[in-house]
Amino acid sequence: MRSRKLPIIYWLITIFFALFMILDGLAGVLRVEGGKEALAVLGYPEYCLTILGLAKLFGSIAILQPSFRTIKEWAYAGFTFIFVGGFASHAFTGDGIGMLFPPLIMLGIMFVSYTLWKKIESERF
């Protein structure tokens, strides 16, 4: 018998993660000043805000929907690239340790969501 707690924990973590990514994605699409400054420090052009913002918005929708498993897998993979890339960008530009942790923390939250989703899926079939 499957634990009832597992899907609840999965949805709480996934909704928290998706809401955070939606807010961050909107900030990117709207090109919020803080995002512009951060990308300038990292050496990226401003239009990357729009690209990454849209990716975060679409990725959030993809991980919240229950039907299309392959799209959901790709969304999790895309978020992994974003967070690993964010960590590497901060590390290579010499940012302090405080700037290295946020992408790793979000990566960890995302992996918890992914792992729980895969566990629920495996119990389902």
Q: Where are the domains of the chain?
A: 5-118
Alpha helix ranges (H) inside the chain: 5-29, 33-42, 47-64, 69-92, 97-124
In the structure encoding, which two tokens stand for residue 106, read together?
Answer: 């979000």
Mean pLDDT taken over the chain: 94
Q: For residues 12, 17, 21 and 24, what is the CA-based torsion angle, rounded to 10 degrees?
A: 100
pTM listed for this prediction: 0.91
Q: Convert the pLDDT of each residue in 43-83 to its tens digit.
A: 999 999 999 999 999 999 999 999 999 999 999 999 999 99
